[in-house]
Amino acid sequence: MTDSYQEVIIPLGQDQEVRQKYLTSMQGFRFGRILEDMDTFAGLICYTHNQDPSKGQNMKSPLSTVTALVDRIDMHGVALSPFKDVRMCGHVTWVGRSSMEVTMIVEQDMDGTREQVLTARFVMVARNPETKK
């Protein structure tokens, strides 16, 4: 399942235009925005997991994948700063017949060390529109 491992950097510390999307009017962090990003990222991880290498990299998956639920979010006591880059990484940690669990970690540099801000588990479900299963 580590084949589905992905990571992405949200360049809040480097890109002012991106940072503005994450700032509240009081210069705080818009937590809902990071939840949206995590949801999108979980979908990307699922599509990566379901890729059929025999069909080539440009072949699109016939599956429609949606978020069934957010199973758990563990906050680690570190507040996100809208002025430092955010790193998200994750992979598929469990699969069923039509569902997958994706575990993701959100990290940020704090005083020179990378700190885990939160860990989340999303349950995603897939349906093939061709077979209706």
Strand partners, 116: 107
- pLDDT surpasses 90 at 41: yes
User: Domain map of the chain by residue range?
Assistant: 2-127
Q: DSSP secondary-structure letter at 60?
A: P
Burial label for 130, CB within 10 Å (0-12, 13-18, 19+), is exposed
Q: How confident is the model at residue 130 (pLDDT cuts 50, 70, 90)?
A: confident
Q: DSSP secondary-structure letter at 48?
A: H
Q: What is the pLDDT of residue 36?
A: 97
Q: What is the pLDDT of residue 84?
A: 94
Q: What is the pLDDT of residue 129?
A: 77
Is the CATH number 3.90.870.10 carried by domain 2-127? no
- Residue 95 makes CB contacts below 8 A (sequence gap 6+) with 1, 49, 101
Q: Which residue has tokens 């069923």?
A: 96
- pLDDT surpasses 70 at 67: yes
- List, for residues 88-110, the tens digit of each pLDDT value: 999 999 999 999 999 999 999 98
Q: How confident is the model at residue 51 (pLDDT cuts 50, 70, 90)?
A: confident
Q: What's the whole-model pTM score?
A: 0.88
**Strand residues in 11-128 grouped as ranges (E):** 64-75, 86-95, 99-110, 113-127
Residues 41 and 105 sit within 8 Å (Cβ to Cβ)? no
